[in-house]
């Protein structure tokens, strides 16, 4: 997709301005219903597009991303633009600087059409916790798009933009991609700078591309990855662009399929599509190996201790004094200011996690919960180290189920958390993971997408991108 559009721009078949206008029109037509966008940055987009057209006219070299419409999840700072994290507490917050990823894609000439909806502070798996209403799954609007990067995924799946960025702390790029039929990549922890991202769980968060094809994900990753002095956890990237590794051949690769990801709770129809995909990999010349990740059963519990602990401390900064003011808060004392701002500004799911996190980190319980969870996290990581001595990639379903209906899980947080069961492990271990479309299941006359997840060794984005690409071009 990206390459084709780039060619069209270069040979004059379409101009960047025309491309933006076409996508803005699609947003006008579809977004009232889909609610993917919280802010549309029409003027910024048109200005950037005309700059790119100028460059093309002058015969200057342009990047693959130049002139192509994209969107950013609304927890990624974009200078001069509202960045709300879908929370009332940041309803009026205008970011005074660019996140490193925003800066990098702007430098590449990308045309940002706006900021997309998410679960509040990225806490959720359906966009139903957004303070500004949920986004809808374009394939069946009675169903959720998944979350938390639901808006970004919907904007790509419904052709409002060519690609988008999301963030993934426990599956938020991959699970909605699986529900809407897009490609979603969570890079290795450290691969992409987190500077300017509204932090959720700082030891888990990564920014990742959401695209229509695996090669497109590679192209976007090449532009956002690499060392950034503003994020001490960021790592140097290779000089060779990731798209150059998408060669379309995986003969001789060893792919591990862990039985822990195929047990209880996995929807039968998802399992069938997944097993067909495993067969496909065999046909493509890969060797399938049964592997064991024995600590998987503790992963969800571990995630739901570490994440709220980190979230509660990250969200402590929202006090009504810095950032933005919550409407209707007129306090008499500083304490009232805190209490009223946080009481009115945060939604119920975020409050639940703040309370859990605060409890987990409190003096008497720290060892029993947080420290223990960190120990289990090491065991989960060790599982991956062991398996990656035997295989190159691990292949699993992305989510145990298909996109579910609105309201199906809103009164039972545990049910909602179970949706993350196959994705949280990659965040806990820090490994890269990509969700690719592997088939569909017909329900109520709609073809609901199924995603397959490829996990790779630390910093082996090249490997999983090529494995995903090879599947894609052969199906």
Site for ligand GLN, rule CB under 6 A: 122-125, 148, 168-172, 200, 307, 420
Distance in Å, CB of 128 to ligand GLN, minimum:
11
**Euclidean distance between CA atoms 214 and 183, whole angstroms:** 6
Confirm if 428 and 381 have CB atoms less than 8 A apart: yes
Q: Is 73 a catalytic residue?
A: yes
Residue 103, CB-side half-sphere exposure with 13 Å CA sphere: 15
**Euclidean distance between CA atoms 379 and 249, whole angstroms:** 33
Residue with tokens 């990624």: 76
Task: For ligand GLN, give the closer residue by CB, 307 or 326.
Answer: 307
Catalytic one of 15, 30, 73, 237: 73
Task: For ligand GLN, give the closer residue by CB, 134 or 439.
Answer: 134
Distance in Å, CB of 200 to ligand GLN, minimum:
6
Q: Going by C-beta distance under 8 Å and a sequence separation of 6 or more, which residues neighbour residue 268?
A: none
Residue 435 forms beta bridges with which residues? 184, 453
Catalytic one of 15, 126, 148, 419: 148
Q: Report the 10 Å Cβ neighbour count for 110.
A: 28
Task: For ligand GLN, give the closer residue by CB, 125 or 432.
Answer: 125
Distance in Å, CB of 176 to ligand GLN, minimum:
9
Q: Report in angstroms the alpha-carbon separations of 428 from 29, 333, 456.
A: 40, 41, 14
Distance in Å, CB of 123 to ligand GLN, minimum:
5
Q: Is 344 a catalytic residue?
A: no
Task: For ligand GLN, give the closer residue by CB, 78 or 200.
Answer: 200
Task: For ligand GLN, give the closer residue by CB, 170 or 320.
Answer: 170
- CB nearest ligand GLN: which residue? 172
**Euclidean distance between CA atoms 141 and 256, whole angstroms:** 35
Catalytic one of 130, 152, 172, 399: 172
Q: Is 15 a catalytic residue?
A: no
DSSP H/E element including 265: none
- DSSP code of residue 370: I
Task: For ligand GLN, give the closer residue by CB, 48 or 193.
Answer: 193
Query: What does the DSSP assignment read for 317-364?
Result: G-SSSSS-PPTT---SSHHHHHHHHHHHHS-HHHHHHHHHHHHHHSTT
Distance in Å, CB of 54 to ligand GLN, minimum:
38
Distance in Å, CB of 348 to ligand GLN, minimum:
13
Distance in Å, CB of 354 to ligand GLN, minimum:
13
- Nearest to residue 293, comparing CAs of 376, 235, 362? 376
Which SS3 state, helix, strand or coil, does residue 49 take? Answer: helix
The two three-digit tokens of residue 306, written as one number:
């570490």
Measured at the CA of 63, the angle between CA 61 and CA 64, to 5 degrees, comes to 130
Confirm if 266 and 400 have CB atoms less than 8 A apart: yes
Q: Which residues are catalytic?
A: 73, 148, 172
């Amino acid at each position: 997709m990206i390459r084709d559009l780039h060619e069209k721009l270069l040979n004059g078949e379409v101009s960047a301005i025309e491309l933006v206008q076409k996508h803005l029109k699609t947003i006008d037509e579809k977004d009232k219903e889909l609610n993917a966008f919280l802010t549309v940055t029409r003027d910024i987009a048109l200005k950037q597009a005309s700059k790119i057209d100028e460059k093309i006219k002058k015969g200057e070299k342009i990047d693959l991303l130049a002139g192509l419409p994209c969107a950013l999840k609304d927890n990624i700072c974009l200078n001069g633009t509202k960045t709300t994290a879908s929370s009332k507490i940041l309803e009026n917050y205008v970011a005074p600087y660019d996140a490193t990823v925003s800066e990098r894609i702007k430098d590449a000439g990308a045309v940002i059409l706006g900021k997309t909806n998410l679960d509040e502070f990225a806490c959720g798996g359906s966009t139903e916790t957004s303070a500004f209403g949920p986004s809808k799954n374009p394939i069946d609007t009675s169903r959720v798009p998944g979350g938390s990067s639901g808006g970004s995924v919907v904007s790509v799946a419904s052709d409002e933009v060519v690609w988008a960025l999301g963030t993934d702390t426990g599956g938020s790029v991959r699970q909605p991609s699986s529900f809407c039929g897009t490609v979603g990549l969570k890079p290795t922890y450290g691969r992409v700078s987190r500077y300017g991202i509204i932090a959720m769980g700082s030891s888990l968060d990564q920014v990742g591309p959401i695209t229509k094809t695996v090669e497109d994900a590679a192209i976007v990753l090449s532009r956002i990855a690499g060392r950034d002095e503003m994020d001490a956890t960021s790592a140097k990237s290779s000089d060779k662009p990731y798209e150059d590794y998408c060669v379309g051949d995986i003969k001789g690769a060893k792919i591990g399929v862990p039985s822990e990801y195929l047990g209880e709770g996995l929807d039968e129809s998802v399992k069938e599509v997944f097993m067909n995909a495993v067969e496909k990999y065999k046909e493509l010349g890969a060797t399938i190996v049964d592997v064991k990740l024995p600590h998987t059963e503790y992963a969800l519990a571990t995630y739901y201790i570490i994440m709220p602990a980190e979230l509660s401390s990250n969200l402590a900064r929202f006090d009504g004094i810095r950032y933005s003011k919550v409407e209707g808060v007129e306090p008499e004392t500083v304490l009232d200011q805190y209490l009223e701002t946080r009481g009115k500004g945060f939604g119920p799911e975020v409050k639940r996690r703040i309370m859990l996190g605060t409890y987990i980190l409190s003096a008497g319980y720290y060892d029993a919960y947080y420290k223990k969870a960190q120990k289990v996290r090491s065991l989960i990581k060790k599982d991956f180290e062991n398996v990656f001595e035997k295989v190159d990639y691990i292949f699993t379903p992305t989510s145990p189920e298909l996109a579910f209906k609105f309201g199906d899980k809103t009164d039972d947080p545990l049910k909602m958390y179970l949706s993350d069961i196959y994705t949280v492990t990659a965040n806990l271990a820090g490994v890269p993971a990509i969700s690719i479309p592997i088939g569909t299941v017909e329900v109520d006359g709609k073809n609901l997408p199924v995603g397959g997840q490829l996990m790779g060794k630390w910093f082996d984005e090249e490997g999983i991108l090529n494995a995903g690409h090879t599947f894609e071009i052969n199906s």
